[in-house]
């Protein structure tokens, strides 16, 4: 929460109305912070405006105003990443003397369903392997 608070600043009360009581009380116990969204651009020289805007939309406090998964997957930044991936890194597309032959489906597809049944973690410390 502190990292999000540092970036987005202290949210208005209506933005955290649906947050759990613990998160609300924690946020309200902190001193007011102004947004510092320009911090995103200092993370890397490669952070584009589109990338920063996508991150901000994903971190929006109010879940009703937050970008949905489908909207995020249709975002131009993600779409450009897919194109970049398929231009030189994937195994499903290939180059021919006439040019690059792209797959019909640009969305990566897993060959198997992820199984998390062996991950019976009861705490974050256990998941990180901390004793």
Query: What digits encode the pLDDT tens for the residues 4-41?
Result: 999 999 999 999 999 999 999 999 999 999 999 999 89
Domain-embedded: residue 122: no
- What are 94's strand-pairing partners? 101
Measure the CA dihedral 94/95/98/104, to 10°: 20
Q: Within 13 Å of residue 115, how many CA atoms lie on the same side as its CB?
A: 4
H-run or E-run covering 23: helix 21-29
The answer to the question of residue 12 being in a domain is yes
Are residue 55 and residue 96 in the same domain, yes or no?
no
Q: How many domains does the chain have?
A: 2
Same domain membership, residue 16 and residue 63: yes
Terminal Cα distance for the chain, rounded? 24
State the pTM of this model. Answer: 0.69
Residues 42, 9 share a domain: yes
């Amino acid at each position: 929460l502190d990292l999000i608070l540092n970036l987005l600043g202290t949210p208005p009360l209506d933005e955290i109305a649906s947050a759990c009581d613990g998160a609300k009380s924690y946020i309200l116990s902190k001193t007011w912070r102004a947004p510092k969204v320009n911090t995103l651009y200092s993370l890397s020289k490669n952070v584009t405006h589109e990338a920063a805007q996508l991150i901000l939309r994903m971190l929006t406090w109010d879940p009703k105003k937050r970008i949905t998964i489908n909207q995020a997957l249709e975002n131009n930044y993600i779409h450009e990443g897919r194109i970049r991936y398929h231009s030189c890194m994937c195994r499903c597309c290939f180059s021919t003397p006439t040019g690059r032959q792209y797959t019909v489906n640009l969305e990566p597809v897993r060959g198997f369903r992820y199984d998390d049944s062996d991950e019976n973690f009861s705490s974050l410390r256990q998941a990180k392997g901390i004793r």
